[in-house]
Structure 1
Amino acid sequence: MSLFPSREVASAVISSPLSPNKKQSQRVSPARFIAASINEKAFVASAPIELYTTNYFLTCALGGALACGPTHALVTPLDLVKCRGQVQPGVYKGTFDGWSKIYKAEGFRGIFTGVGPTAIGYSMQGTGKYGFYEFFKYQYGQIAGEEAAHKYRTALYLAASASAEFLADIALCPMEALKVRMQTSIPPFAATTREGFAKLKAAEGLGGFYRGLVPLWGRQIPYTMMKFASFERVVELIYSNFLSKPKSSYNKFQQLEVSFAGGYIAGVFCAAVSHPADVLVSKLNNQAKSGNSPGVGALIQELGWKGLWRGLSQRIVMIGTLTALQWLIYDSFKGKFAKQTILLFKNISDCVTCMCSYLFFFLLVYVGLPTTGH
């Protein structure tokens, strides 16, 4: 059973132009394209899709998942050394020394300890972060009005990103708790995500997965506020002060270069504002639940000012790279390079099945939306 639409259906859709007239009666409706068989419940409709519709927000959410999950998984080796150094000062002399010792003790697989919960957790978090950010940015802009929304756009970015991250972290927290426990225990707390989930649940119950939620909010909300607000303004600054033409005059590849540069700069700021909370999250999730477990205030006193900044240099490299890659992937996913298509589904099972088939080819499927930033 093919997951892909027939050539006849696809050709009919791709060749059908979108009317520039915004009146509802003249829009191209997905309903006019009828699947030729039961296998074509998932079929294509012409793009670009209309901004600020349900399809738009779902597309942004999917782009966020693809931007965050794979990139966080990619930097797992750096995150592993950083986390162990935060909870056990002096365990490694540096990043390369850490990798060398881990490889000798645990093999190549050991360097990627925690990659499973990292990929799962940050895919879910990316879905909420980017999808809700676009949603709240639009909603708050509607409330403020066009003139006020533009005048106070930085405040709008901050409010939208904080709201989005608050919700996204609820999805992230269980996998983050498991990731940190696996990474900061020597030898690792568990060999696989499934084993680790079962062990943590048996030891601490479901509440153990949310012990670090408040410190996680303390880390992620400032991080995301800085990530979105600084990125939007840095991109503005690049176009207005360092490039000679308006954004619309550059092709998509040139715009993506700006996205990457703006993302890296934003990532450096993100790492700085959120690092103390990152150390607290690592310390808190490293400790097994007990009656004598210290609270956040006690941990701050124990670590001291210097301890709260332990591992900052490694995290700047990691977060700068992460943020740059995430904006590159996210804006690539939204970008318009050729004739674009967007998937529409009749039910959730069709969506999940088809998404899995397309996941490995996501860089080849673009949906015709503008890159982020003014």
Structure 2
Amino acid sequence: MALEDSRRSSALPSFLYKSKGFKAPAPAPALVPAAEPRINGGGGGALQSSRFLIPSPDESKKIAMYSPEFYAACTVGGILSCGLTHTAVTPLDMVKCNMQIDPAKYRSIGSGFGVLYKEAGPKGLFKGWVPTLFGYSAQGAFKFGLYEFFKKYYSDLAGEENAYKYKTFIYLAGSASAEFFADIALCPMEAVKVRVQTKPGFANGLLDGLPKITRAEGVPGLYRGLVPLWGRQIPYTMMKFACFEATVEALYKYVIPKPKDECSKVEQLGVSFGGGYIAGIFCAIVSHPADNLVSFLNNTKDATIGQAVKSMGPVALFTRGLPLRIVMIGTLTGAQWGIYDAFKVFVGLPTSGGVSKAPEQLTTPLPLPSA
């Protein structure tokens, strides 16, 4: 298959999103018509189609898959997904960050909430919500929008057959590529958020916290935690997307008693939330040591990663604040996939994931040449 042809077609997502009995909406070029069949195996081989149309489930919306409108919708869905959920769990994040920085004072989840409430009242539990909202909205835009882009891009590069065979590697590569850029967008707001939440009296929020860091350390001060942020978020996002895709596929295959295209949108969104929650548990475990490092480095001036590891110790690095983070990230990830897919359904796009099918084959034998 020529490279330029493969870029216009869909490889991996065609068998993830294909629905039954679809008739392509006009104009046909928006969804790419089927190409001429190709022949495998010479005489007597099977006739195989090399193109698949990817429909939107709501034809009245007519957003073509992998069009600029599609990527714009995924970007907006990512903004809503990550921005709203991270802001909603700010109290949990406050307790988690303070448990990582001062475990003697914040000994447990319950006592941590009690200390924060006693010292700052209800408002204190939401300290840092503005940089959280801005930072994670920017991250979500890149995370989800670029994941959809890179997933298709790598699928097209691999070719239809390899994209199906190595689909998990496609998910991992696409999510890692997307998160690399997403963390660059997130890092400045994360630096402000952590210091506002864990350094009493440092700043009230974004408006005074951001200029305070830049005056003292310059713009590089906002990116001191970028490397550990990559170390936390890239494995987290790889697990988040690959585990979600595999979990949703397994749920439709082994748990849900009917095919995805026969499920209602409410049922499909329930699967998205469940798959996201399960993925979130694994995300929290994989990324937790780096999360501890991010909190330590953003709270301790001029500290290095080696000093942070030595100061915390290996056990604390992997376990301090982990139970709370599992609850927080599981809920967060489930809600994110639910919001993201709800927005996709709202604009007329299919929900994410589903039963993966090998490229379709027509078993009609080729006619033998006449004598």
Match of 2:187 in 1: 173
Q: Does residue 1:311 correspond to 2:321, yes or no?
A: yes
Match of 1:84 among 92, 98, 105: 98
Match of 2:333 in 1: 323
Deviates more, 1:222-231 or 1:100-109: 100-109
Match of 1:20 in 2: 25
The code of the aligned residue for 1:265 comes to: I
5+ long unaligned stretches in structure 1: 1-17, 28-44, 336-365
Q: Deviations over 1:78-101 (max 9, x none)?
A: 110110110111212322322222
Match of 2:210 among 177, 197, 200: 197
Match of 1:70 in 2: 84
Match of 1:297 in 2: 306
Counterpart Cα distance in 2 of 1:268 and 1:123:
22
Match of 1:115 in 2: 129
Question: CA shift at 1:116, angstroms?
Answer: 0.8
Structure possessing the higher radius of gyration over alpha carbons? 2
Counterpart Cα distance in 2 of 1:51 and 1:331:
15
Counterpart Cα distance in 1 of 2:117 and 2:27:
59
C-alpha change, 1:271 and 1:301, in structure 2 (3 Å) is same
Q: Does structure 2 retain, via aligned residues, the 8 Å contact 1:270–1:319?
A: yes
Question: CA shift at 1:225, angstroms?
Answer: 0.1
Counterpart Cα distance in 2 of 1:195 and 1:207:
17
Q: Does structure 1 retain, via aligned residues, the 8 Å contact 2:25–2:62?
A: no
Residue 123 of structure 2: SS of its match in structure 1?
Answer: helix
Q: Does structure 2 retain, via aligned residues, the 8 Å contact 1:162–1:222?
A: yes
Q: Does structure 2 retain, via aligned residues, the 8 Å contact 1:216–1:281?
A: yes
Counterpart Cα distance in 1 of 2:104 and 2:170:
42
Question: CA shift at 1:19, angstroms?
Answer: 6.2
Q: Does structure 1 retain, via aligned residues, the 8 Å contact 2:30–2:64?
A: no
Question: CA shift at 1:188, angstroms?
Answer: 4.2
Match of 1:134 in 2: 148
Match of 1:10 in 2: none
Counterpart Cα distance in 1 of 2:31 and 2:84:
40
Residue 313 of structure 2: SS of its match in structure 1?
Answer: helix
Counterpart Cα distance in 2 of 1:300 and 1:95:
23
Match of 2:198 among 156, 166, 184: 184
C-alpha change, 1:194 and 1:258, in structure 2 (3 Å) is same
Counterpart Cα distance in 2 of 1:242 and 1:67:
26
Q: Does structure 2 retain, via aligned residues, the 8 Å contact 1:219–1:277?
A: yes
Within 5 A, what are the aligned runs for 1:55-66? Answer: 55-66=69-80
Match of 1:99 among 113, 120, 142: 113
Question: CA shift at 1:287, angstroms?
Answer: 1.4
C-alpha change, 1:94 and 1:225, in structure 2 (3 Å) is same
5+ long unaligned stretches in structure 2: 1-22, 33-58, 355-371
The code of the aligned residue for 1:306 comes to: V
The code of the aligned residue for 1:287 comes to: T
Q: Does residue 1:213 correspond to 2:226, yes or no?
A: yes
Question: CA shift at 1:150, angstroms?
Answer: 1.0
Alignment coverage as a number of residue pairs? 305
Counterpart Cα distance in 1 of 2:62 and 2:331:
29
Match of 1:33 in 2: none
Match of 1:261 in 2: 274
Question: CA shift at 1:221, angstroms?
Answer: 0.1
Q: Does structure 1 retain, via aligned residues, the 8 Å contact 2:179–2:234?
A: yes
Q: Does structure 2 retain, via aligned residues, the 8 Å contact 1:211–1:285?
A: yes
Counterpart Cα distance in 1 of 2:125 and 2:25:
52
Q: Deviations over 1:197-232 (max 9, x none)?
A: 111111111110000000000000000000000000
Match of 1:356 in 2: none
Q: Does structure 1 retain, via aligned residues, the 8 Å contact 2:31–2:65?
A: no
Counterpart Cα distance in 1 of 2:31 and 2:88:
45
Counterpart Cα distance in 2 of 1:107 and 1:25:
55
Match of 1:352 in 2: none
The code of the aligned residue for 2:313 comes to: G
How many percent of aligned residue pairs carry the same amino acid? 55
The code of the aligned residue for 1:176 comes to: E
Match of 2:362 in 1: none
Match of 2:343 among 333, 337, 340: 333
C-alpha change, 1:146 and 1:223, in structure 2 (3 Å) is same
Match of 2:169 in 1: 155
Q: Does structure 2 retain, via aligned residues, the 8 Å contact 1:113–1:188?
A: no
Please provide the CA RMSD for this pair. 1.7
TM-score, normalised relative to structure 1: 0.79
Q: Does residue 1:249 correspond to 2:262, yes or no?
A: yes
Question: CA shift at 1:107, angstroms?
Answer: 1.9
